[in-house]
């Protein structure tokens, strides 16, 4: 494996590492020589992933964790510290979704989205920052979304939770400045566009159609952004040209951008194949979806060809 002098020997906790760009980032960080502590609910998937990393010469430890459980997140932190002596970077890659018109989605699904996406992120941030203050430094990478700034129809609770992620990150940076620790403790937020990962398969879905979104990004650009943020975090970073364009557009023309985004989301819903309502994996993990890429773009091509 190649090594990165800025990452080799560093201990990095990655939440949401069983699939999607969490898994991709953990894999790449291990390839660059970091000690990776991978967390997600699916312990069997994590064990296989750790074995794969070890077979390739990397170092990783699996800690099955439901991030909505504060005690479980505390155990994740303590396990990382006991195994490697300290934590250098914490990647707060937490995010589930419930798709559909707000009133069509059961309230318990909305509550679960907020519990994981906001409370889970708060628990991780608290564990990380408490440790960073004790050891004198560290990097917290919070994974937000373009929805952090541009709310999207059919994703109300997800958009609300991701807006809260950005607000929390901004507040944490201000508090670190107040106590004179902003030079040694960094909090960065990355904000991707819609990305082709198993997130769409895992999401609860009440749209009546298979989930999809226009012009999905490849997960590799988010993986690269997470890895870069581990050593050079930016306080707020829209990831990729579409996310950056959306961010600029929203600052210049907020109403127009939000209405256009809603119309695009609505059109994409109708283009998907018919699908039954499902809670996905938001309440209980499912075996499907353990890869980085979700295969959504390929399905969309088949759907479009069949129209």
Q: Kindly state whether residue 102 falls inside one of the protein's structural domains.
A: yes
Instruction: Return the structure tokens found at 40.
Output: 């997600």
Q: Kindly state whether residue 135 falls inside one of the protein's structural domains.
A: yes
Q: Kindly state whether residue 134 falls inside one of the protein's structural domains.
A: yes
Q: Kindly state whether residue 202 falls inside one of the protein's structural domains.
A: yes
Q: Kindly state whether residue 5 falls inside one of the protein's structural domains.
A: no
**What local confidence, expressed as pLDDT, does residue 2 receive?**
54
50 and 102 Cβ atoms separated by less than 8 Å: no
**What local confidence, expressed as pLDDT, does residue 1 receive?**
45
**What local confidence, expressed as pLDDT, does residue 89 receive?**
99
Q: Kindly state whether residue 2 falls inside one of the protein's structural domains.
A: no
How far apart (Å, rounded) are the C-alpha atoms in residues 201 and 190? 22
Domain limits at 287?
11-306
Check which CATH number belongs to the domain holding 53 and give it: 3.40.50.720
**What local confidence, expressed as pLDDT, does residue 77 receive?**
98
Instruction: Return the structure tokens found at 233.
Output: 């975090």
CA distances 21 to 17, 106, 107, 217, Å, are: 8, 28, 28, 11
Where in the sequence numbering do the catalytic residues fall? 145, 158, 162
The domain tally of the chain equals: 1
Pick out the chain residues at pLDDT < 50.
Answer: 1
Q: Kindly state whether residue 6 falls inside one of the protein's structural domains.
A: no
């Amino acid at each position: 494996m190649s090594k990165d002098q800025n990452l080799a020997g560093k201990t990095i906790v990655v939440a949401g590492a069983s699939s999607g760009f969490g898994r991709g980032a953990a894999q790449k960080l291990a390839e660059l020589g970091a000690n990776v502590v991978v967390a997600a609910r699916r312990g069997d998937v994590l064990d296989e992933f750790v074995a794969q990393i070890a077979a390739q010469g990397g170092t990783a430890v699996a800690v099955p964790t439901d991030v909505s459980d504060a005690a479980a997140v505390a155990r994740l932190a303590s396990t990382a510290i006991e195994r490697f002596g300290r934590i250098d970077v914490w990647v707060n890659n937490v995010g589930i979704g419930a798709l559909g018109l707000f009133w069509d989605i059961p309230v318990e699904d909305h509550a679960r989205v907020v519990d994981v996406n906001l409370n889970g992120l708060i628990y991780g941030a608290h564990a990380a920052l408490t440790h960073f203050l004790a050891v004198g430094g560290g990097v917290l990478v919070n994974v937000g979304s373009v929805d952090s700034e541009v709310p999207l129809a059919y994703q109300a609770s997800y958009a609300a939770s991701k807006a809260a992620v950005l607000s929390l990150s901004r507040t944490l940076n201000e508090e670190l400045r107040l106590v004179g620790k902003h030079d040694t403790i960094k909090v960065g937020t990355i904000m991707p566009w819609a990305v082709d990962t198993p997130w769409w398969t895992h999401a609860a879905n009440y749209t009546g159609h298979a989930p999809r979104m226009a012009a999905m990004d490849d997960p590799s650009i988010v993986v690269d952004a997470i890895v870069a943020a581990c050593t050079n975090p930016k306080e707020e970073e829209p990831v990729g040209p579409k996310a950056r364009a959306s961010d600029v557009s929203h600052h210049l023309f907020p109403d127009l951008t939000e209405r256009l985004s809603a119309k695009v989301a609505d059109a994409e819903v109708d283009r998907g194949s018919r699908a039954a309502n499902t809670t996905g994996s938001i309440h209980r993990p499912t075996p499907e979806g353990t890869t980085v890429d979700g295969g959504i773009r390929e399905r969309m091509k088949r759907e479009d060809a069949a129209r």
